[in-house]
Amino acid sequence: MRNLLLTISYKGTNYHGFQVQKNAVTVCETLQDAMQTLFQGERPDVKGCSRTDAGVHANMFCVSFKTESDFTCDHIRRSLDAILPDDIAAVDCEEVSDDFHARYSCKGKRYVYKIWNAPYMSPFWQGLALHYPKPLDENFLDAVCTDFIGTHDFSAFCGSNGEQEDCTRTVFDCQVEREGDLVTFSVTGDGFLYNMVRIMVGTLLEVNEGKIEPDEILDIIESKDRKKAGRTARPEGLYLDYVLYDEEED
């Protein structure tokens, strides 16, 4: 039995997130369908590096699974890429140690959130970025978001459906940048709570709108009160951008 690490990339517009759900098409189900075709009836138990909500995308998403197949990793990647629909790509495949787990072996992740900041919505970013027509000062928000950096109890930035008992996470870095009309918020940490990044973005947008004072971020974190943070930004702007493992597995 071999343990394989498969890296995929997907546009989440047509899916109800990654995790398998009843009566909803998900990325995991679609991936397992392709695997079942490739492995001639064998349907591997896929371990995902994270969960993504409906409409959320991934530039890099990692899954681990075990198989008795003797197909080469290159053959598996190429074959899955041919079987999968156009909005899911098989990017890489490699053999890893038996105890490797796509989720529990993860050392960190980077998320990005894309905002189309113009009076009109670009048809090329429809479903791939949040349309925010109000003026947005990216330099101001870049300075404000540094208050997220550090080890904190992020209970105030966890959605109501979050199942985590320990809400302490470490944010290594975050920033806000602009390229033309596209504004990108990026954040890297050792892990993230349910809706954490989307609430961070919603809070920054409310700072931009003057609804939350720029020096209130740390107070909101310390309050551990979800009601004090900003709104939950819509899912279509969110991307899982990078997943970090140990060097020998990265």
List the catalytic residues: 53
Q: How far apart are the C-alpha atoms of 152 and 97, rounded to whole Å?
A: 32
Cα 189 to the center of its chain, rounded Å? 12
Give the H or E element holding residue 105: none
The DSSP element (H or E) to which 34 belongs, if any, is helix 27-38
Q: Rounded to an integer, what distance in angstroms lies between the CA atom of residue 217 and that of residue 209?
A: 14
Please provide residue 125's backbone torsions phi and psi, each rounded to the nearest 5 degrees.
-115, 5
Q: In the chain, what's the furthest Cα-to-Cα distance?
A: 59
Length of the chain: 250
Quick check: 7 and 62 in contact, CB under 8 A? yes
Number of other CB atoms surrounding residue 33 within 10 Å: 15
Strands 130-131 and 108-116: parallel
What distance in Å separates the CA atoms of residue 195 and residue 235, rounded to the nearest whole number? 9
